[in-house]
Chains A and B, each alone.
Chain A
C-alpha cells in the first residue's frame, strides 16, 4: 500500500500569514490531486498536477509537484478565514483494474480573523 504523509497535521494561523503544506511519499504517482473538505461535506477538488516539477496557481494558492512525482506542496499566500478546512492530497495510480486514489493523512487549517 502506498502511503502519503502530510505535514503539518494541524495549523492555526492569523489572517494574512503565509503557510505551506507538504505531501510526501516514497512512491511515484501518475498525478496528484489536492482537495479541500469543510465540516459536514465531502472533499472538493482544488487542482490536479500531472508533470514532475509542475506549478499551478489558483488565486492565492500555489501547488507544486515534485520533479520525481513523489511529493507535492501547497502554499497559501495571505491566508483568509475562508481558507479554513481540511486539506487532503491524493496520489493517483492508473491500473488496468481501475484508477484509484490514495489519500494523505490530511492537514487541518484554521485561520483566525
Chain B
C-alpha cells in the first residue's frame, strides 16, 4: 500500500493564480482531511470529508474548496491564490472511529506551497 499520496510536493504560484492540490489514498478510508501547517505551528483543519459526496468546513476554510467524488480522492482547490495561503498542506485519512476503538490519521508527506 502506498498510503496517502500528495502531489505536487512543491509549488510556487503568483498572486491570483489557481491550482489544485491532489490527494489520494489506497486504504479504503472513509474519512479524509486537509490541514495547513504554518512555520513552527501545529496543524489547522481546512476541510474534511466523511465519505464520497460529503464535505464539511474545518477551522480555516476561506479561500479553499474541496470535492469528494470517490472514496480515494480528495482534491483541494485554491481559486485566487493569496500570500496568506503560503504554507505546507497535509492531507490525511482514517477509518471512522468506533465507540471503543480509536483510529489514527494517516498523513501524506505534504505539499509546500509558496505564493509570491
Contact = CB atoms under 8 A, between A and B. Distances in A.
Interface in A1-53: 1, 4, 6, 9, 31, 33, 40-45, 48, 50
A94 B97 contact: yes
B40 interface: yes
Interface residues of A, number: 28
Contacts, number: 63
Contact of B105 (A40, A45, A98): A45
A98 B102 contact: no
A57 interface: no
A34 to B, nearest CB: 10
A105 B107 contact: no
B48 A100 contact: yes
Given A33-B102, A42-B108, A92-B102, A106 B50 contact: no
A3 to B, nearest CB: 10
Contacts of A40: 109-110
B104 A42 contact: no
A101 B104 CA distance: 10
Contacts of B44: 103
B104 A33 contact: yes
Interface in A56-113: 88, 92, 94, 97-106, 108
Interface of B: 4, 31, 33, 35, 40-45, 48-50, 56, 58-59, 90, 92, 94, 96-97, 102, 104-105, 107-110
